[in-house]
Structure 1
């Protein structure tokens, strides 16, 4: 089982998935995938692009102005200080279509 959260301009939505489920994430929308089961999950990501990069939400927030994070996520200074300031992608790959 997996929980997938998709961040769009209009809303943030979370879905629970089991084997065989399919989700299309709209272009340029952030998303987060979490294993909520007892076994490893397998997933297939398909991109219509010659290049894609993945990065962590932690790193994304780390380069966001602290006042925006605190005002919109309703968190304190400790949360902001704990964010990883690294800017390197977790994984980068070139897709071959």
Structure 2
């Protein structure tokens, strides 16, 4: 199933993580671990935000994906299934 993981990082923790190198390592590890199809980064409400699109078939891997973001960055995480335009057309 294709999933969209959206994370936001509190400003203070993000600043600290940028200074000590944790930010780059955590994001690089996430993108590599999930074999991201796409990854986008922006600001949301003044906080660092990222959206990572990936395929996952084993829901038991979700803690392995989420916990490093929680632990290293105090990230807030939202995950939801998403469709491509082709997926949507097949469903309609």
TM-score where L is the length of structure 1: 0.26
Q: Which has the higher strand share?
A: 2
> Higher relative contact order at CA 8 Å, sep ≥6: structure 1 or structure 2?
2
| Structure number with larger C-alpha Rg | 1
Q: Which has the higher helix share?
A: 2
